[in-house]
Amino acid sequence: MTDFKIVEDFPKSEIEFEDRFSTEKSCYEYLFQMKWPTGFSCCKCNHEAYWVSSRNIFICTQCGHQHSLTAGTIMHQTKKPLRLWFKAMWWFTTRKSGVNAVNLKDLLGFGSYGTAWHWLQKLRRCTIRKGREKLSGEIEIDEFFIGGQQSGKRGRGANGKAIVIAAVEKEHRSLGRIRLEVIPDSSSDFILPFIEKYIEPGSMITSDGWKGYYPIDKSQYVHHQVEFPKVDFSPLYTSA
């Protein structure tokens, strides 16, 4: 998937957006301009002439290579109109309060919550910046469990629960940046790689007394194990 980027050619208001992207043709024209700012050029032979199929595939007249404007994007091989994807991206990037799957379902008129949820996950994934900086400074780390109430063991080792490990920067009395990841279990086999991946060496890590945190490299991190009040990370994980 290609990197997400903001360009200057971006609508300034919802009225401008609706004027520009009300038809499939206008959406394809926009993608064409993004892909070939100076005009079509075949990626195989650099020929500049093409014809367009009924499925909006751009085909080089010299070598016959086919080019899809949605290839490498979250819209590739979609069966939904591009104007719906454009609307979803507009709402996702401009609503200050965010958008969740229920909102997206209603806004786009989908009959299925699952479709809206799937689209939203794609949008979220493409806005995660590659190479983003690791957390640093004072970090609290813990796991929480997602799943409905069930009989049996609670907490670590409970059946039928998804385990999410979370690390959050502490900025005085408030929370800063956060990193989340689903892990198969709460052992050090998964906790330590998460720490190495997301937390800058030299940081001070505070965790509870769980044995999975015992092997944290003391030469890389300052580690304190205490019984601190649980931070409820689940709203951060499920919010839009």
Q: What is the mean pLDDT of residues 23-35?
A: 93
Residues 26 and 90 in one domain: yes
87 neighbors 93 (Cβ within 8 angstroms): no
Which tops the pLDDT comparison, 90 or 146? 90
Other Cβ atoms closer than 10 A to 101: 19
Query: Does 159 lie in the same domain as 121?
Result: no
> Residues 225-238: what's their mean pLDDT?
61
Confirm whether 7 is domain-assigned.
no
Residues 142 and 216 both lie in one domain: yes
Question: Which residue among 126, 157, 186 closes a domain?
Answer: 126
Q: What is the pLDDT of residues 103-153, one digit of tens each?
A: 899 989 999 899 999 998 888 877 766 667 889 999 999 998 886 555 555
Assigned domain for 43 exists? yes
Q: Are 187 and 212 in contact (CB under 8 A)?
A: yes
Structure confidence at residue 19 as a pLDDT band (50, 70, 90): very high
Q: What is the pLDDT of residues 203-216, one digit of tens each?
A: 999 999 899 999 99
Tell me if 44 sits within 8 A of 28, measured CB to CB: no
Taking CA atoms, 154 is separated from 12, 148, 159, 232, in Å, by 50, 11, 8, 16
- Residue 131 resides in a domain: no
Overall domain count for the chain: 2
Q: Using a cut of 0.85, tell me whether the model's pTM lies above it.
A: no
On whether residue 3 sits in a domain, the answer given is no
Q: What value does the mean pLDDT of the chain take?
A: 84
Among candidate residues 105, 126, 147, the one where a domain is terminated: 126
Report CA-CA distances (Å) from 38 to 32, 44, 46, 56, 190: 10, 17, 13, 19, 48
pLDDT of residue 165: 93
45 plus 83 within the same structural domain: yes
What is the Cα–Cα distance from 68 to 179, expressed in whole angstroms? 34
CB neighbours of 94 closer than 8 A, spacing ≥ 6?
14
Q: What is the CATH number of the domain that holds 179?
A: 3.30.420.10
Domain range spanning residue 232? 138-238
Last residue within a domain, chosen from 126, 150, 179: 126
pLDDT number for residue 7: 54
Do 150 and 64 belong to one domain?
no
On whether both 112 and 145 belong to a single domain, the answer is: no
Tens of pLDDT, residues 151-191: 555 555 555 678 999 999 988 777 888 888 889 999 999 99
Assess whether 105 and 37 both reside in one domain. Answer: yes
